[in-house]
A and B are shown apart, each in its own frame.
Chain A
Amino acid sequence: MNTTNIWEAQLTIEDHDHKPVELSLDQCIKCNICVTACPVTAVTDLFPGPKYEGPQAGRFRHPGQRTPDHSVDYCNGCRVCNMVCPTGVRIAEINGRARGDIVQGGQVSRQHKLRNNLIARPELLGKLGQPVAPLANLVLHSGFGRFFAKLTLDIAPEAPLPRFANERFSSWAKKRTEKVQSDRKVVYFHGCSTEYYEARVGKAAVQVLEANGFEVLIPPQNCCGLPLLSNGEFEAAQAYHESNISKLIDYVKQGYVIVGTSTSCTLTLKEEAPELLSYYTEDAQLLAANTFDINEFLVHLLDDGQLKSDDLKPIPFTLAYHPPCQYRAHRIGRPSVEIMDVIPELTIIESQAACCGIGGTYGYKAEKIGISNDVGQPLFDFVQEINGPIAVCDSETCRWNIAATTGVPFVHPIELLAAAYGYDVEGPLAEVIS
């Protein structure tokens, strides 16, 4: 039984047999609940449905055998199928690994392989683009740049590209002079989006953690590798994952947990990388067991009566909130809602939509952006109906996607809490809070 504090790393690994995900297909009772819940199947025939692709086609995918069809590549990885399955089949992971087989078998065109390898490397893009942010933003957001990207790489011209920030998050963190020192330490995993595009999310995370008495460590780290995993590039993804383990594991062994604001990065460290890659070294398991989404972490504090929740500034708005599908895949409930409940006068209306459609890199591809937009339409309608000055979502690519389509600016829930704590805010939130 875990009676220790949530911020103290657990150094014993829970007993697990780590069976390959494919074995779970025998649990399928063919009830079709996943097919009716799948947001992609609902809008296109190109993806017949999770059951047909996963547990059914999975029976024909013996090791070493070529994957029988390409339709599996139209899965956007939202994992709604897993969430609704009454018998616990790992449908999305079965399909993710089938896609890996397609890529490994060389069944992807050279143009698409090049494109997928580029858009699935946010760290590389960030390193190239951020130092020349004004120029890179100008080119990437120009008609010519978009036209050229479509022509050469089949990248959707209307894709919701983010803007490079003028300053990297880690540079800001290094320059800070008044850091909180404490025996209670946590490691912050910022992910590529915070590092290169939205430093404000990382600043808010550091502020909230410090306000709760934590010293925040920000060691070197790299891309979690999820975009590569969802493009079937498993070898490259594993290199990123191994690198993160070597950079972070010593902190875990000193007793510190990893807290992140990107729901897809933390999911990758927890489960996606080990499971898709069958990579269960002791260090990989230790890192997984001690990684938290930031609101998941804060809810533990809240449950124990330790979250700072006195004298919070009211945020008198009614805002739409979309719990991203990557977040639901953590299987931790919806902690962000519980945290936002603490903020006075803030009313949150949760979206019931399955997915925004973007699927990480899925909606950036010219052949898939139409599907992506159709999948997201109910959510876009919801956000516009609520019509708040801003809206809320934990995942970066979802924020960019929904904001680009609806015109409603998006923030991460942690920015709201930082604002309620009285910190200066930046970005869209600064424009609505005086």
Chain B
Amino acid sequence: MENRNEVLVLGAGLAGLTAAWQASIQGKKVRLLTKGWGATHWHAGCVDVLGYWPLDNEEVVNNPSSAIPQLLETNPDHPYARVGLERLSDALSAFQKLCADAGYPMVGTLDKNWQLPTAVGSVRPTCLAPTTMTAGEVDDKGPILLVGFKQYADFHPHMIADNLKGLGIPTQHVVLDLPAVASRHNTTGIILANMMEQTEFLGDVVKAVRPHLGDSQRVGFPAVLGMRKASAVHQSLQNQLERPVFEIPGLPPSVAGIRLHYILKDAIEKNGGRVFEGMEGIGCETENGRVTAVFSETASRNRSHRYQQYVLATGGILGGGIVTDHTGLVREVIFDLPLDTPESRQEWFQRDFLDVKGHPIYRSGVVVNDELRPIGDDKRVLYENLLAAGTTLAGCEVIRERAFDGVALATGYAAGNLVAT
């Protein structure tokens, strides 16, 4: 009988979630398996498309749409070359519409990167940022008041303030010691984000901040201004403090990243897709150039999943989609796909830990054609019903390039559409 299961996506980072979202809005019956929560919980909740190029000079990119063609000239196997600039742009637009419809606008264009402060007060170039963050732009030299919470140890306003002053931005800081926060021994970003959604607590924050406002023109907070109601919390703070407010994302788990996780997961489920957590893909079965099943680990045996099409979005070495061992083995976990990777273990690393050239091992990835189908050395498609997306792909070094989210969104978007047509 016809297999009633249409698309299986493996991995719940930005690429996997985007692929599942796109396939599901086109009417496909989609299931997504993930080992745990994905990269969304680790990243800043922005969309970095290209932050640094050329890499060796660590030159900051101001205009991704003019820098990407240069990137592709020297790096023709980059995932952006596979999907093309037009699809990257379509992916960003679709994602912006999704977020805006969810009441959490992500703003920016491919023509200009934001330059936003990091949790140590350095600058990060990013293409799309939520409206809760954009008032932190460092090109704007307006004075800043930074607000921290005594019990929230992951955010150090004095350090950020020192570094922002170095950029010519007059910056003051204040650390709040509020009874409601002090009543808890442990304070995580999630706990603070939930408290921020309570009007009374928000009022306490405003009351405590007001005496310190001075001549500041904007106020910065750690990125904990609400979880699902972030835009409302942000707006309310701006109204009450009578000036722009911005968030600075910090250590994981990142509240701003989790917001995007929820927006995408909601979109998938609204369109009839399902996301299954705690299910780790560990192997596959293939026949005549097709994937016939993927196996996942369960409590006491492996379970097979039979679908018409499969999207691999399990990430690279960081995400766990590619594993290495002490013998020099570099292996893609589910399909054992051929990888573009250094030939021997001696070539994995540069001598210096922080070498500007980066370590070759982190460029390891799956080689695909323009339809994101993994190919072998002879350029032939390995399995006609398998696509790969996200940072599992070869040809990029997304962390150094600051292209993590752009690559994930563009390839996830492309893969989701390709399996649906």
Contact = CB atoms under 8 A, between A and B. Distances in A.
Interface of A: 1-2, 10, 14, 31-33, 35-37, 41-42, 45, 48-49, 82-88, 267, 270-271, 288-289, 291, 303, 305, 328-334, 337
Interface string B300-317: 111110100000000000
B316 to A, nearest CB: 13
Contact of B277 (A35, A84, A270, A291): A84
B43 to A, nearest CB: 11
B299 A333 contact: no
A35 B253 CA distance: 9
B37 A86 contact: yes
B36 A267 contact: no
B411 interface: no
Interface in B23-51: 31, 33, 35-38, 41-42
A227 B185 CA distance: 30
Nearest to B184: A45
Contact of B188 (A36, A88, A303): A36
Interface residues of B, number: 41
A319 to B, nearest CB: 17
Contacts of A14: 301-302
B37 A37 contact: yes
Contacts of A85: 36
Contact of A289 (B4, B191, B301): B301
In the complex, the 7 A-B pairs of residues with the closest C-beta atoms, listed nearest first: A270-B300, A83-B278, A86-B36, A45-B185, A271-B299, A288-B300, A333-B276
B186 interface: yes
Which of A36, A45, A289 is most buried by chain B, counting CB atoms within 10 A of its CB?
A36
Given A86-B36, A333-B33, 12 more contacts: A31-B253, A32-B253, A41-B188, A42-B190, A48-B186, A86-B35, A86-B38, A288-B300, A289-B300, A331-B278, A331-B279, A333-B31
B253 A305 contact: no
B391 interface: no
B297 A331 contact: yes
B185 A270 contact: no
29 contacts: A10-B301, A31-B42, A32-B251, A33-B37, A33-B41, A33-B252, A36-B189, A36-B190, A36-B258, A42-B191, A83-B277, A83-B278, A84-B278, A86-B36, A86-B319, A267-B299, A288-B299, A291-B300, A328-B278, A329-B278, A329-B299, A330-B298, A330-B299, A331-B280, A332-B298, A332-B303, A333-B31, A334-B274, A337-B274
Contacts of A42: 190-191
B252 A82 contact: no
Interface in B123-174: none
B320 interface: yes
B93 interface: no
B36 A87 contact: yes
B298 A88 contact: no
Contacts of A332: 279, 298-299, 303
Which DSSP category, helix, strand, loop or mixed, fits chain B's interface? loop
Contacts of A330: 298-299
Nearest to A37: B37
Contact of A48 (B38, B185, B191, B253): B185
Nearest to A42: B191
Contacts of A288: 299-301
Interface in B1-35: 1, 4-5, 31, 33, 35
Given A33-B41, A267-B299, A330-B298, A303 B278 contact: no
Interface in B316-337: 319-320
Interface in B180-208: 184-186, 188-191
Given A31-B41, A36-B253, A303-B5, A333 B185 contact: no
B279 A333 contact: yes
A343 to B, nearest CB: 16
Contacts of B118: none
Contacts of B35: 86, 88
A49 B33 CA distance: 26
Contacts of B42: 31
A355 to B, nearest CB: 14
B37 A331 contact: no
A220 B247 CA distance: 61
B296 interface: yes
Nearest to A48: B186
Contacts of A33: 36-37, 41, 252-253
